[in-house]
Structure 1
Amino acid sequence: MKTREIAGRKPRLVVVGGGTGLAVMLRGLKELPVEITAIVTVADDGGSSGRIRTDLRMPPPGDIRNVLVALADTEPLLEKVLQHRFRNGNGLAGHNLGNLMIAALKEITGDFNHAIQYMSRVLAVRGQVLPSTEEEVVLCAEMDDGTVVKGESLIPKAGKKVRRVYLEPEEAHPLPEALKAIEEADGIIIGPGSLYTSILPNLLVKGMAEAIHRSAAKKIYICNVMTQAGETDDYTASDHVSAIVDHVGEGFFDVVIVNNKVPPPAVLKRYAEEGAAMVRADVEVLEAFGCQVIADDLMQIETVIRHDAAKLNRWIVNLVHP
């Protein structure tokens, strides 16, 4: 795809989120003539990341690793090595090699962000990858019944509706490089990703949402295709946007992109068995937020349902630089 340059340069995109959905989108986006800065959540406390976080007292590297691999210019075998999870070994089983490499670089350099930048150079990453904060943060959720759940991995398991999420400590600050990228961006893309556990933890870092509000960039929210059990049960697209607005204020998005293609009945049945359903594109309610709504067939079905990254990225580039 060809895009015009903006004042003699490529469009600058800041992508905010975490999880596998973000990585899928970035794999396609890196092939386009754009400059990418990915700001990635560090609220994870489960699996290999959680163990590294606890044992080494550092931010969890898992979401960062996925984004680094997605943006890397590497051989397929090296990607498999970086994503390899050990099945055996006392203390080693369950750990991911890429996570351990980031942890090793953090110990060598003494700084989490420096470790990420060294890893980026080794992998020839196309773009800049930044943690939303270098501080250790715990994601907490206040549920509808007033109880509080502490820990990102425990929130979906609570079996209760989330009222709001917040970080401890609340004073965790973003990196200056992240704020600079937001200020200079032509487009800011939020999502796709888990609403309460991948997207909002970034926006709750002190000063992050305010910087996005101030930015002159076009702000685009990409809504998930499917709900997530224990986190967004029965949520429509407008419920997702409403939850973000409740946390960061009105007028946050210029554009909302949502899938309107219904999956085949057999696929819906399989997801229903896991407590998930299609996110309904309630366009009229979304438009009441004062944003442009793009509802399109954005679904790609492989072993799981994902966004059609190629189509999604065409929308993004055309919106940022029509």
Structure 2
Amino acid sequence: MNMKEDHHIVCIGGGTGLSTMLRGLKAYTDNLTAIVTVADNGGGSGILRREMNILPPGDIRNCILALAETESLMNQVLGYRFTEGSLEGQNLGNLFIAALNNILGSFELAVEKFNEVLAVKGRVLPVTVENIQLCALFDDGTITTGETEIVDQSKMKSKAIQKMYLEPDSPKAYDKAVQALKTADTIVLGPGSLYTSIIPNLLVCGIGDAIKQSTAKVVYVSNIMTQPGETDHYTLKKHIDVIEEYLGKGIVNYIIVNDKEIDEEVLFLYEEDGAQQVVVDLISNESRTVVRSSLAKINTEDCYIRHNSEELAKVIINL
């Protein structure tokens, strides 16, 4: 292990990819910060957002549960999703954060207390505490507002995402998120949806500048598979090109990619859904290092491909 105990790792993203990575990293260090997008408007989070006018708690909840020290009964309770009645599809952890928000009068305080309740290793922060909506301009000139709606529109094969932006324009980054980036030794982008988990964070005012001004190693963890509609036929280079469009060129200096062979039967299931393996078409040079590792992990129950959290953590720790 190359890292010192006080080495500060800051991970930026959202969705399943971020929480998976955090689950592995917590075995190595407590000095972890997750900066999480709050642009989600679907599922139980979307309902709470519309009906209670709070920021979406789902991705934040997942990250906090991932960083909890033990997989306790409390973890299971706060990760419980109702399957029937008026609460069908809603998550108890989301409701817990919503209750804290109402009691404390502040979403950021609610998240802070939720961190404390589970005694997490590290901390989880919203990228902003402003009520934002994710917007996409497609190459046919149409504009779609809302993360869920963008994902749905992206699956229409006749159109592709041309530009992402936020409404309202130029939301201010949460000050604790900016401070975390300023003190980071390693900053990790991804894994996760390029346009709906990573880019939304880079669109928040202050985040990109803090990354660019940092002396930290900046790491991108490549997705293993493309996402139907959003990143059809995107190679690794295309993913980096898009990130550099919003962050600036030459900022990412480490790229982590999977080199584990995936069974053809599993790939066929993904191809039926319109996804392909991300082709690694970049090599190391004087400004960046491409790190290959056996990262793909297949869930035997549903054949989903995920990053192996333990292996990914080892790679990051040893950069």
TM-score band (shorter)? over 0.9
Aligned with residue 69 of structure 1, among 62, 65, 68: 65
The amino acid of 2:38's aligned partner reads: V
**Structure 1 equivalent of residue 288 of structure 2:** 291
Work out whether 1:152 is the aligned partner of 2:147. yes
Q: In 2, distance between residues paired with 1:19 and 1:212? A: 21
Q: Give the structure 2 partner of residue 200 of structure 1.
A: 199
The answer to whether 1:19 aligns with 2:18 is no
Q: How does 1:260-275 map to 2 (within 5 A)?
A: 260-275=259-274
Which residue does the alignment assign to 2:247?
248
Aligned to 2:125: 130
- Is the contact made by 1:83 and 1:98 (CA closer than 8 Å) also made in structure 2? yes
1-structure distance, mates of 2:120, 2:30: 13
Q: List alignment gaps of at least 5 residues for structure 1.
A: none
Alignment counterpart, residue 31 of structure 2, candidates 30, 35, 56: 35
Q: Of 73, 77, 82, which aligns to 2:78? A: 82
Residues 260-304 of structure 1, C-alpha deviations (whole Å, 9 max, x = no match): 2331110001111221111111124xx579421112222111231
Distance in 2, Cα, partners of 1:297 & 1:3: 19
Residue 240 (structure 1) shift: 0.8
Q: Does the CA contact (< 8 Å) of 1:254 and 1:291 recur in 2?
A: yes
Q: Distance in 2 between matches of 1:237 and 1:99?
A: 34
Q: Distance in 1 between matches of 2:3 and 2:174?
A: 30
The yes-or-no answer on 1:301 pairing with 2:298 is yes
| Structure 1 residues 117-159: Cα deviation after superposition (integer angstroms, max 9, x where no partner) | 1011110111011000001100000111121111101112112
Q: Distance in 2 between matches of 1:276 and 1:175?
A: 34
Find the aligned partners of 2:41 and 2:286 in 1 and give their Cα distance: 33
Q: Which residue number corresponds to residue 40 of structure 2?
A: 44
Closer, same or farther: CA 318–106 of 1 in aligned 2, 3 Å: same
Distance 2:239 2:297 in 1: 21
Q: 2: CA distance between counterparts of 1:251 and 1:132? A: 23
Which residue of structure 2 aligns with residue 141 of structure 1?
136
User: CA offset at residue 249 of structure 1?
Assistant: 1.6
Amino acid paired to 1:312? L
Which residue in 1 is equivalent to 2:226?
227
3-state SS of paired residue (2:9): strand
Q: Is the 8 A contact 2:3 2:318 kept in 1?
A: no
Residue 103 (structure 1) aligns with: 98
Q: Deviations over 1:2-59 (max 9, x none)?
A: 4452xxx521000000111111111110110351010001000001000101111111
DSSP-derived class of the 2:134 partner = strand
Structure 2 CA distance for partners of 1:278 and 1:37, relative to 1, 3 Å:
same
- Contact 1:140/1:150, CA 8 A, preserved across alignment: yes
* Distance apart, 1:89 and its partner CA: 2.1
Asked if 1:310 is matched to 2:306, the reply is no
Q: Which residue of 2 aligns with 1:54?
A: 50
State whether residues 251 and 289 of structure 1, in contact with CA within 8 Å, keep that contact through their aligned partners in structure 2.
Answer: no
TM-score (norm 1): 0.93
Q: How does 1:162-173 map to 2 (within 5 A)?
A: 162-173=161-172
* Change in CA separation of 1:75 and 1:290 when aligned onto 2, cut-off 3 Å: closer
Aligned twin of 2:6: 10
> What number of residue pairs does the alignment pair up?
312
Q: How far apart, CA to CA, are the structure 2 residues paired with 1:196 and 1:213?
A: 20
Code of the residue aligned with 1:216 in structure 2: it is T
- Opposite residue 199 of structure 1, the aligned amino acid is I
Q: What residue is the counterpart of 2:116 in the other structure?
A: 121
- Aligned with 2:102: secondary structure? helix
| Corresponding residue of 2:185 | 186
For 2:282 and 2:43, the matched residues in 1 are separated by 37
TM-score, structure 2 length as denominator? 0.94
CA contact (8 A) 1:23 1:66 kept: yes
CA contact (8 A) 2:160 2:229 kept: yes
